[in-house]
Chain A
Amino acid sequence: MTRVWDLPLRLFHWAMVVAVVVAAITGFLTPEWWLDLHSVAGYALGVLLAFRLVWGVFGSPYSRFRSFPLKLSDLHQHLISVLHRTPRIFVGHNPAGAWMIVVLLFLLVALVITGVLALGGRENLGPLAFVTVYQIGNISREVHEIAALGLLWAVAIHLLGVFVDTRIFKHPVLAVMMIGNKMSSDKRANGPDGTHTARGAVWFASITGLLIVVGVAMASVTPSGWRNIQTPADYVAECGDCHDAYHPSLRTAAAWRSVMNGLENHYGEDASLDEGTIADIRAYLVENHAGTFDTEVANRIGRIDTPSFRMTDVRRWKKQHRDINESVYRLKSVGSKVNCQGCHKDAESGRFDDDKIHLPSGDKS
């Protein structure tokens, strides 16, 4: 009987399973406003993976990447022996399993990195928000989605491998990953002992502490795409009576000029103001137009001109809201589709974060 998997590695494995399941459910299944929980799962994965990479160098013998049988000739031989139903028993990973781990770890690291970039670039949130522009965030999100599908397949193959090992070859790999022991004739195997548990705990605590401190510090730097602007009282008073006063990043400078110059005929109403007030408000809107923000809403909606000057006529706006039932707009707390604040609780700030979306009925219809 040899102990193969040290306790830190086994804890890592099962913690990661939980984090991946949470991230997958909140990523694939739930609506966008679950981004909060998705991010938490992602950060947890990031910490776990950082530990795993360090443990792959400093951990107990079978945890080390050096011990992985990654030679392609070994893999070839192993697969042939599996087909002949006479696989050799490895104490640590077998070559197929080792490759599987490499692929899984690679995909997971890629997912965490692209996830943090997407969050920073698109939502102006998280540790990389201060350096990531929208376009990078956008590309990262595409890669993130592809990697996520890749991970689904990889996990499926991994589970298939476990199934084959357990059912066909009667290797109790699941039990081994839980308890850590394996029957082995490999006398050279010198497995982990209690000192590894202590060392793992120290490593894990240090890595977690370091990442949290550095991450929080980075996340508190002003994001690159969004800034807090002082809203003049005039603007809220004059443009906030009939609908909420829109954030300047929702329209182009040209559109704002046109809206402000046509207030006598404002979407079927007279919204006229005196010249002085018009000039003040116009200056504020034009100064902070969509081109001066690098948020998702500025890129996707604000910067797109429409003949009506409406953001609700932008194709992308219609697409994003096509699943919303007309009756939701008529609810008292919303009133109309032009009252962004009714569903986007942070509309006033111009952020339009996913996790601030709140459909009044609590659901999409």
Chain B
Amino acid sequence: MSTFSIVSGRRLLIAAVFAACFVSGPAVAGMLQDTIARYTAEVTSADKGFTGFSAERGRMLFFSRPATGKPDTPSCTSCHSDSPVTVGQTRAGKEIAPMALSRTPDRYTESKKLAKWFRRNCKSVLGRVCTAMEKGDFLTFMATQ
């Protein structure tokens, strides 16, 4: 840990994601890492004191019940089930594969798809778009699940 303390938060995060992704396959890991790097760039450009995404904040976003969006969808868990590792269900009844990267390894790989669903689901649940910080936290949480 002492060697890591001198490198920036960003490098640390990349290293951590890299390590996590040794388990789930290098190709997928590379893309998620790129995505997280993009969000990191977005966040640091606004906030110089940024020290990295937090899986704990991501967990809170997933389990919280903001209910500031549309009435039928008070929480991410309304559709994604009460656990990142179990199958969810849309309001129209279709199954949603688990959100945890360990369960659905091909998640978070298509940037267009990712952007679309963050836009839709954040609007439905929070009533606004999610910040780059929230998205980075969420992905970091899912990568560790």
Contact = CB atoms under 8 A, between A and B. Distances in A.
B38 interface: no
Interface string B74-106: 000000000000000111111100000000000
A270 B124 contact: yes
Nearest to B125: A270
B70 A268 contact: yes
B10 interface: no
B73 interface: yes
Nearest to A336: B93
Contact of B71 (A268, A273, A342): A268
A243 B90 contact: yes
Given A271-B120, A272-B123, A339 B72 contact: no
Nearest to B120: A270
B11 interface: no
Given A241-B94, A243-B92, A264 B73 contact: no
Grouping DSSP codes into helix (H, G, I), strand (E, B) and loop, the A interface class, with mixed when no group exceeds half, is: loop
Contacts of B93: 243, 329, 334-336, 338-339, 342
Interface residues of B, number: 17
Interface string A173-195: 00000000000000000000000
A265 to B, nearest CB: 8
A339 B95 CA distance: 11
Contact of A242 (B70, B91, B119): B91
Given A268-B70, A268-B71, A273-B116, A242 B92 contact: yes
A48 B70 CA distance: 64
Given A269-B70, A270-B70, A273-B116, A243 B94 contact: yes
Contact of A268 (B73, B120, B121): B73
Contacts, number: 54
A271 B123 CA distance: 10
Interface residues of A, number: 20
B120 A272 contact: yes
Contacts of A270: 70, 119-121, 123-124
A354 interface: no
A326 to B, nearest CB: 13
Interface string A242-253: 111000000000
Given A241-B94, A264-B123, A270-B123, A335 B89 contact: yes
Contacts of B92: 242-243, 267, 335-336, 338-339
Contacts of A241: 90, 94
A338 B90 CA distance: 12
A269 B119 CA distance: 12
A242 B73 contact: no
Nearest to B124: A270
Interface string A267-291: 1111111000000000000000000
B138 to A, nearest CB: 17
A335 B91 CA distance: 8
Contacts of A267: 91-92
Interface-centre pick from A242, A271, A273, A338 (highest chain B CB count, 10 A): A242
A271 B70 CA distance: 12
B109 to A, nearest CB: 15
A244 B92 CA distance: 9
Contacts of B72: 268-269
A244 B94 CA distance: 8
B82 to A, nearest CB: 17
A267 B93 CA distance: 13
A335 B70 CA distance: 21
A306 B120 CA distance: 26
Nearest to A264: B123
Contacts of B91: 242, 267-269, 336
Interface in A16-55: none
Interface in A221-268: 241-244, 264, 267-268
B97 to A, nearest CB: 11
A142 to B, nearest CB: 36
5 contacts: A241-B90, A270-B119, A270-B123, A271-B120, A339-B92
Given A270-B123, A272-B119, A342-B93, 10 more contacts: A241-B94, A242-B90, A242-B94, A243-B90, A267-B92, A268-B70, A268-B72, A269-B70, A335-B89, A339-B93
